[in-house]
Amino acid sequence: MDRLHLGQHISQQFNTELAALTKQVLAMGGLVEAQLALALEALAARDLRQVAHVVAREEEVNAAELEIDARCTQILARRQPAASDLRLVLAVVRMVANLERIGDEAERIARIAEKLGGAELAEHYGVKLAQMGSLVRDQLRGTLDTFARMDETRALEWLRRDREVDVLYKELTALLVALMQRESDRVPAALEFLWCARALERIGDRCKNICEQVIYLVRGQDVRHTGLSRSAAPLPREN
């Protein structure tokens, strides 16, 4: 299977176009990473000013997705890329779709912070949610780094670390369901915590999707639906 060989084209302009495309994806990733950080700060401090910043960033993220999609369409139409160049364009289209969804989830978290206002639950619920948020922030940062470095090994590591987010999500869900069964007056706040945890879990899934695209991009192998995230097996060998 053809491995990734960027920057080796006869046309220097094509090299420049592909490099610019990669740079745009990383810039969009930076926007989304900042958006998630602001959303988590808004949740922790119930800061409505941060909520407004998150919403404003969402417009930037959406614009970035449209711009990158248009650039990919132009490259496909004008360059008719093959092999690793085609994989780059296809992987980028899938990655930016996932980044845009992460931005949507970050906005959802900020809106939840706005709804919660001064409502509070016992401290350990907030601690669990904060732990989950920290894990997801690290996962997003690590995922973007694997793309910047085209590092298939690290991509697999971050893909598998999504299990840590899933474990925390299940634990927090069980705690919140038990709370709602015991104390009906806590149901509104508990539900908002539950939706927030769900948004974080989905962000983890989106990061996992991006890691799968990095592996596809570098190795030329589609590892979606292969169960790699649930096993300790190494990356599959190339034929």
234 vs 129: CA distance, rounded Å: 32
C-beta separation of 1 from 235 below 8 A? no
Q: What is the pLDDT of residues 214-232, one digit of tens each?
A: 999 998 888 887 777 666 6
Please give the pLDDT value at position 173.
96
Q: What is the pLDDT of residues 82-126, one digit of tens each?
A: 888 899 999 999 999 999 999 999 999 999 988 887 777 777 888
Smallest CA-to-CA distance from 167 within 127, 144, 135 is with: 135
Please give the pLDDT value at position 10.
47
C-beta separation of 215 from 94 below 8 A? no
Smallest CA-to-CA distance from 51 within 116, 7, 4 is with: 116
Please give the pLDDT value at position 33.
97
3-state secondary structure of 46: coil
Specify the DSSP element, H or E, that contains 90. helix 83-116
Q: Which residue has the tokens 């779709």?
A: 97
215 vs 150: CA distance, rounded Å: 8
Q: Which residue has the tokens 């097996």?
A: 233
Please give the pLDDT value at position 1.
47
Q: What is the pLDDT of residues 121-140, one digit of tens each?
A: 777 888 999 999 999 999 99
Domains and CATH numbers, the chain: 12-230 (1.20.58.220)
Q: What is the pLDDT of residues 28-86, one digit of tens each?
A: 999 999 999 999 999 988 888 888 889 888 999 999 999 999 999 999 999 888 888 89
Give the range with max mean pLDDT: 5-9, 48-52, 143-147.
143-147
CB within 8 A of 127, min separation 6: which ones? none
Please give the pLDDT value at position 2.
55
Indicate if the pLDDT at residue 7 is higher than 60: no
C-beta separation of 80 from 17 below 8 A? no
Q: Which residue has the tokens 């949610």?
A: 129
Burial of 102 (0-12, 13-18, 19+ CB in 10 A): buried
